Structure 1
Amino acid sequence: MAETFSKRERRKKKIERRREKEFRRDERRQLPVKQKSLEEMMAYVDENGNLSDTPPDPKNAYKAAVEDIVIDIPKALPDDPDAIPTGVVSYFDPSKGYGFIVNDQTQERLFVHVNSFAEPTTELSIGDKVSYTPTRSPRGMQATAVVKR
């Protein structure tokens, strides 16, 4: 059976593509590979944070103290560190004797217990304005010395 024209053309194109691919592969193998040395590949960061190819001068090295390195964002401090924080009672259950206060400035929620009132006769209800002293307890921040305003 004789080969048709289109089959013969497809076979020729396939053979030609295969030859071109082999030719390109041989060219790549024959090209000299220029490898860079470690010093040529090295990049440095200058004092402004920009990348550069020249190493920094060791005389200008800055030694940072471990205490100066801040890993997290510190909470905002009140304007006056001696000022007594104030807040609003967001929840209080007199039968159970505990509740929560929301700080006016930081919106932080603090636990408050009847035993931490400055005056034992004080009665709190939702929405009362209070001043307090924040203290850290094993379960989080707690309000002590609570005074109703």
Structure 2
Amino acid sequence: MGRSQETFSKKEKEKARHKKRQDKEQKKEERKANAAKGQGLDMMLAYVDENGNLTTTPPDPRNKKTVDAGSISIGVDRQEATAAVAERKGVVTTWLDTKGYGFIKDTQSQQSIFFHKNGLIDDIRQQDKVSFQIETTPKGPSAVEVRKLG
């Protein structure tokens, strides 16, 4: 008769599986024993008071406020694109011709303002002095009607 095909590692793996199974059964029995001692579902409930804090006491129905569901707005309202009338001046700090966009540094506010090639009137290069108008878009301020000065 031949030797057993069980190696040391196979025996260790089997022992580990058996121990894991026993631990699982033991935990299951403990949960069943604790559930029998528990006070029930009422002790597991939590309530939220008018300030948003969790509490164990139910709210007073007399203090109930009604809210119109139509008045609740989820998210942020979209901003409409509006053009400013005042013409501003600045310097083109970045211009990526291959990508079709760049940034202008406003001389008045020192703010970096995005512009797209669709908003260009003249051909421009980096470090050119330009005049432009600011349009507020949903993503922030954007320069339009960009003209090269001088």
Same fold (TM over 0.5): no
Which structure has the bigger radius of gyration? 1
Normalising by the smaller structure, the TM-score range is: 0.3 to 0.5
**What TM-score does the superposition give when structure 2 sets the normalisation length?**
0.42
Higher relative contact order (CA 8 A, sep 6+): 2
